[in-house]
């Protein structure tokens, strides 16, 4: 039964219904347990990394300042999607109000945009550290780091606010079934009974421009970084220089590959299983993987974790 309110000669949807992650009932217990564990690890990993950066003096550098910002974004980003997905998995009717859907999309798009800009800021930080090591401290000041992080949040939520305003000012007077497990732009656009040309253009503009800007900044930065690394004579020096940026490169690659797999197709095409899998990866899995990758691949983080464990053990004893 559709939830509609009258609007002159038309009706407006007040409640959306998700098709969900799967229609296979036998998979639901496994998926519920698996994604609950993923979400718990995401919370613990990102909060733990934020606290570690705050308390460990050897991590009070621009690189780890941006990493703590990324962890905060990942934590909020996952929370905008995962709890609702978990509560919907065992439910027969997976509903969300019109305003709730708009709010979820606002935070999802805003935090995704913020992550995109943060990843490009982190690549600039790595470029400065490796290509201009003697001037690194004078270039990457606390004020500049704060400005880059603040700009990332501002730009992310600015594009999200414009995008959300356009998308949810459309008329929805037909089907209210969103073929997805959260409120995303392409499945919602397909439900509108009004002209969607402007929103389609904004989607291409925002996803394309934000993605291309960030990806271009990352590719240019790493082209210069690799050129500089290749000029280092000692193999130990090359390995040390590369290890400082490998974690960021892995995280950025995972995020962009999964996003491009989801959005690089026609807005009118039907959402298939591959799209949902890619969406799960960058909305649920990536926020969990980022702190794990930085923890496992970064020697300074490992040392800080060991020191923190030793300090806690000493206090307990």
Q: What is the DSSP string of 183-246?
A: --HHHHHTT-SS--HHHHHHHHHHHHHHHHHHHHHHHHHHHHHHHHHHT--SHHHHHHHHHHHH
- Cβ of 201: how many Cβ atoms within 10 Å? 11
Q: Percentage of the chain with pLDDT > 90? A: 41
Structure tokens at 269: 């095409």
Query: What average pLDDT does range 52-66 have in this prediction?
Result: 88
Residue 269 pLDDT? 47
Residue 264 pLDDT? 62
Which residues does 180 contact at the CB level (< 8 Å), separation at least 6?
A: 18, 19, 187, 271, 276, 279
Query: What average pLDDT does range 280-284 have in this prediction?
Result: 86
Vertex 213 angle, CA 208 and 219, to 5°: 120
Structure tokens at 30: 């496994």
For the cut 60, the answer to whether the pLDDT of residue 282 exceeds it is yes
Query: What average pLDDT does range 30-51 have in this prediction?
Result: 94
Q: Which domains does the chain have, with CATH numbers?
A: 4-316 (1.20.1070.10)
Query: What average pLDDT does range 165-185 have in this prediction?
Result: 89
pLDDT tier for residue 15 given thresholds of 50, 70 and 90: very high
Residue 313 pLDDT? 67
| Distance, CA of 236 to CA of 26 (rounded, Å) | 52
- Cβ of 277: how many Cβ atoms within 10 Å? 14
| Distance, CA of 14 to CA of 2 (rounded, Å) | 9
- Give the number of residues written for the chain: 317
Query: What average pLDDT does range 273-291 have in this prediction?
Result: 83
For the cut 90, the answer to whether the pLDDT of residue 138 exceeds it is yes
Which residues does 62 contact at the CB level (< 8 Å), separation at least 6?
A: 125, 140, 145
Global pTM reads: 0.87
Query: What average pLDDT does range 211-222 have in this prediction?
Result: 87
Residue 88 pLDDT? 94
pLDDT tier for residue 8 given thresholds of 50, 70 and 90: very low
């Amino acid at each position: 039964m559709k939830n509609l309110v009258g609007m002159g000669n038309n009706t407006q949807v007040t409640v959306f219904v998700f098709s969900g992650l799967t229609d296979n009932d036998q998979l639901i217990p496994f998926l519920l347990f698996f994604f609950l564990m993923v979400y718990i690890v995401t919370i613990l990993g990102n909060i733990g990394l934020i606290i570690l950066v705050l308390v460990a003096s050897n991590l009070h550098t621009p690189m780890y300042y941006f990493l703590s910002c990324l962890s905060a974004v990942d934590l909020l980003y996952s929370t905008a999607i995962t709890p609702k997905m978990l509560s919907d998995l065992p439910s027969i009717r997976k509903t969300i109000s019109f305003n709730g859907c708009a709010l979820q999309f606002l935070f999802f798009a805003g935090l995704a945009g913020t992550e995109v800009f943060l990843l490009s800021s982190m690549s600039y930080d790595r470029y400065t550290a490796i290509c201009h090591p003697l001037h690194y401290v004078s270039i990457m000041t606390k004020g500049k780091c704060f400005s880059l992080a603040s700009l990332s949040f501002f730009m992310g939520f600015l594009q999200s606010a414009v995008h959300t305003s356009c998308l949810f000012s459309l008329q929805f007077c037909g089907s209210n079934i969103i073929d997805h497990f959260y409120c995303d732009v392409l499945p919602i656009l397909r439900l509108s009974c009004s002209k969607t040309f402007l929103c389609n253009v904004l989607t291409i503009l925002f996803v394309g421009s934000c993605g291309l800007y960030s990806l271009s900044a990352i590719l240019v930065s790493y082209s210069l970084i690799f050129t500089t690394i290749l000029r280092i004579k000692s193999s130990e020096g090359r390995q040390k220089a590369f290890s400082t940026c490998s974690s960021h490169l892995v995280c950025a690659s995972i995020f962009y590959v999964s996003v491009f797999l989801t959005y690089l197709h026609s807005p009118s095409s039907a959402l298939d299983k591959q799209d949902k899998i890619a969406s799960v990866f960058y909305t649920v899995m990536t926020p969990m993987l980022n702190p794990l990758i930085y923890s496992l691949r970064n020697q300074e983080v490992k040392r800080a974790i060991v020191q923190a464990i030793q300090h806690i053990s000493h206090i307990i004893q």
